[in-house]
Each structure stands twice: as C-alpha cells, then as structure tokens.
Structure 1
Amino acid sequence: MFSLGEAVAVGLLIEVLLAGIVITEIALARRAFKTSRSRGADGQEALNQALSAVLPAPVAKAMGMEFGLFRALWRWIRRKPDAPEGHEILTYGSEIKPIMWTMVFLVPLEILAVEFLVPWTVVRIVLLVLSVYGTVWVLGFIAALSIRPHIVGDGKVVLRFAHFTQITIPLELVESVRTERHSGYRRAVQIDDAGVLAMPIGDSTTLSVKLREPYPVAPKPGKPTQEVSEVRFAADNTREAVRVLTASITAG
C-alpha cells in the first residue's frame, strides 16, 4: 500500500505521536506529584496521586503498590524513615515481622526442593523467578513496615499499614487514649456499624483513641467516607504511644 519512503514516514510519524503522548503523561504525572508534595503529602501519597493522574484507577493502584515496595526497600537500605522532621514516630509490626523473615529464610529450601523435584527446565526457571520476586516482595513489605511508622505532629496523628493504607486523624478531636487490646479483625482497615475504625496488625489492636465527635474517614482511597468515633490501632510500645499522643493533645 505504501512505498518504502512513505512507510518510513508513516512509521516516524507514529513514533513521534507516541513519544509525545509518553512525554505528556510524564509531565502530567510529575505535576501531580509536585502538587501533592506541596500540599503536605508524603512520598508514597504523592506517587499514588501521580499514577492516578495518568492511569486507570485499578492500574494506578496496582502500580502504586509495586513501586511502593521498591521505594520502601530503597529508603530502608538508606535507613531513612518516611516521616517529616520533628514528628514523633510510633513503630508497629513487631508481631508479624518474625513470620515475614521466616518466609524469606525458607526460600533457599524452596528453590532447592524445586531443583530436585521438578524435572522440566522451563518450569524450574519460572518457579525460580517467582520465588525470587516473592522474596523481594516480602522484603519490601518488611521494609515498608519499618520505614513507614505511625507519625504524630502538625496537629494530627497519621496511622499507616506499610505503604498500603494511611489514615489521618486531627489531634484536636482526640478525647482520650488508652491501652486496650481487641482481636478478631480480618482486614487491614475496617469500620463497623458503631463507628469504630480498626487498623490491626495480624488480627489485633493494642490502643484505643476516642474522639470528641464523629469524624469522616475514607477506609480506602476513592471509597466513600464513613464517620468514626473511635480509632483502634497497634503500636510496638503502647506506653510510649500513649505518652506521645497525650503530650501532643495537651500541647495542642
């Protein structure tokens, strides 16, 4: 249908158009990232906003989670927590990290078993790649638990679960903080009919924060807000968490 010269011209035109689209998408993502950061969002939030600006919501969410793993690993290696200067840090996740490390240390045994038990080379290679990626994913999850702690400062408490979930509560609404263990939860974030928001580690929470009045919270990005009157979450050092939150409320 085309001569060689016309075919080359058409091909070049298509390449230029595709390059223009890619450059535009990058520019939009960069602008969304900078705008989010200027509004006080942390790096992970800004990354999610940037991806949402140029990709369909399900794809942006999936890519945000994957990029978040590698971002967490990079900050973990550099020993750089994802927390603003001057904010108090409340760590969590000590109950599940041993399980995660056990999974990492079992990978060599898994690879060895595959080498002996699976006779097909292609299948062994595929399983090896999946094992290595799975190990990187688990390490990224451990890293995210470590470098994205709960933070208290600037008149708010920000509760996190790795790089998957982040809930912000104004300190001015906090009426009381106490140590109180609840268990039996099945999701990382859930809000019951009584207006209790729970962010467990494993299936348990160790702290209860009562609010003076109901506060609207979106359990997941893009989901409708629900009013909560109590927030339950987990912290490694509950006594220190109560002290930090009480002092911050008093100071405010």
Structure 2
Amino acid sequence: MFSLGEAVAVGLLLELLLAGIVITEFTLATRAYKTSRSRGADGQEALNQALSTVLPAPVAKAMGMEFGLFRALWRWIRRKPDAPEGHQILTYGSEIKPIMWAMVFLVPLEILAVEFLVPWSVVRIILLALSIYGTLWVLGFIAALSIRPHSVGDGKMVLRFAHFVQIAIPLDLVESVRTTRHSGYRRAVQIDDGVLAMPIGDSTTLSVKLREPYPVAPKTGKPLQEVREVRFAADNTREAVRILTANIVAD
C-alpha cells in the first residue's frame, strides 16, 4: 500500500510517461506526414504513412479509412478537390451516387421507426448515435468520390476509388485508349490475367492498353503484379479519351 503522497507521485510519473509517449508518437507521425508530402504524396497518402509509422498495420489501415472519410467531407464542404496541381480531372461515381443519397435520405425514416418501435430509451439513444454516424460515413464516402477524382498530368494517369485506392500508370507506356464496357467485377480493384480493373458498381467504361507490362500493387502492402491493360470507369468517357490521348501525344 502507498501513502497518499507516494500514490500521487506514482500517478504523476505515469502521467508524465504517458504524455511523453503521446508527444513522441505525435512528433513521429507529423514528421512522416511532412516527409511524404515533400516527396509528392497527396494528403491521404501522407496521412496513411503517418498512421502506419506509429500504429500497427491493421489499426493504421482502419484509422486511415475512417479519418479519410471525414477529411474528404471537410474538403468537400470547402469545395477543395484533392487532386495534384495542374492535373486534368476525370470524374467518376455518378452511377452509384444516387444510391448513396437514397441511403442518406432514408435515415430520418429509420430514426422515426426506432422512436416508435423501440421502447428502451438507452437503446434508442445508441441507435440514434449509430444512425448519425452511419449517415456521416455515407456522406464522407460521397465526398471522397467527388473530391478524389482520377487525374492526368505530370506524365502519369492517377486512378482512384474514393480514398481507398490510388494507382498511377506512366503515360509513356500507354499504347491505346478506347471506350468499351466490361461488367461482372466484384471488387473495387482487381487484377486478373494481366488486366487491372477499377470498376464503379460492377462495370468499367474505358480500356487503356500498355506497350509493355507494368508492375502494380492492387493494395498497399500487397505484392506487385504485372498488368498490360487497365480498365476503369469515368463519367464522361468521350472527354476522358480526349484528355488521355492529348497527354499521350504531348508526352
């Protein structure tokens, strides 16, 4: 048993040690963020790198996804696209946004149903909090689709799916660009038989053929796989083909 004075001293020592750990991790994360930004990474990439510096990989990945949604929502409110300076933008996601908006507008009905059907006040409060958080999550996802478009510039084509996936392809490897629809995909990014697909819903609308295989990691931490064709979706396929063709010719 400690005396009161000893207990206070031990408590203060533990608090100081904890504060030192927090400050050290914050400093390391800030340094990693700034280093990533100085090397050309966008805000989301730098955030992911900062989190992975101080947290276990699974925790860093989960927190990066959550922080990314609210970061996207904040930039969306401020109307600040998260695209490299000077890049031309190719928007995507118009096919799934109506579904996401429908989910947002159904939340008031869900809350009303809970108020009438659930008799326990504590449960109602918990479900209300979950509904609000879920709504913010969906709005953040809509925001991420809007402010993180595909982009073309600096000799590369940058393809994204919200803040979850980002893959860059050098334009000097592009052999041809054409409009063609492929369907049946089940993941946001997948590589099969040398074909990289980044669909919206389950479909892609553009095909980019490469002159030679190019190594791509489908997700951070996954092994590289060589691809010879890239399929992705864009809202305006004609404009996308024009922009890509013009940049290929310019390069």
User: Would you call these one fold, judging by a TM-score over 0.5?
Assistant: yes
Distance of 2:2 and 2:126 partners within structure 1: 42
Structure 1 counterpart of 2:191, one-letter code:
I
1:125 maps to: 125
1:239 aligns to what? Answer: 238
CA separation in 1, counterparts of 2:216 and 2:122? 48
For residues 126 and 18 of structure 2, the distance between their equivalents in structure 1, rounded to whole angstroms, comes to 32
Q: Deviations over 1:185-228 (max 9, x none)?
A: 00000000x20000000000000000111111000001111111
CA distance in 1, matches of 2:7, 2:177: 71
CA RMSD of aligned residues (A): 0.6
Deviations 1:74-116 (A, max 9, x none): 1000100001221100000000000000000010011111111
Alignment-mate amino acid for residue 202 of structure 2: D
* Aligned equivalent of 1:3: 3
Q: Show the counterpart of 2:78.
A: 78
**2:213 counterpart SS class:** strand
Q: Distance in 1 between matches of 2:114 and 2:26?
A: 41
**Where in structure 2 are the equivalents of 1:1-252 lying within 5 Å?**
1-192=1-192, 194-252=193-251
Question: What secondary structure is seen at the aligned counterpart in 2 of 1:61?
Answer: helix
**Structure 2: how far apart are the matches of 1:81 and 1:44?**
12
What stretches of structure 1 move > 4 A for 4+ residues in a row?
A: none
Percent identical pairs in the alignment equals: 89
1:4, distance to aligned residue in structure 2 (A): 1.5
Q: Distance in 2 between matches of 1:126 and 1:15?
A: 32
Gaps of 5+ in 2: none
Which secondary structure state, in structure 2, belongs to the residue aligned with residue 185 of structure 1? Answer: coil
- Deviations 1:143-181 (CA, angstroms, capped at 9, x unpaired): 000000001111111100000110110111111100010
- The structural deviation recorded for 1:11 is 1.0
TM-score by length of 2: 0.99
| Greater displacement, 125-134 / 40-49 | 125-134
Q: Secondary structure at the match of 1:93?
A: coil
How many equivalent residue pairs? Answer: 251
Structure 2 Cα separation of the partners of residues 101 and 10 of structure 1: 53
SS in 2 for 1:14: helix
Give the CA deviation at 1:126.
Answer: 1.1
Q: Secondary structure at the match of 2:76?
A: helix
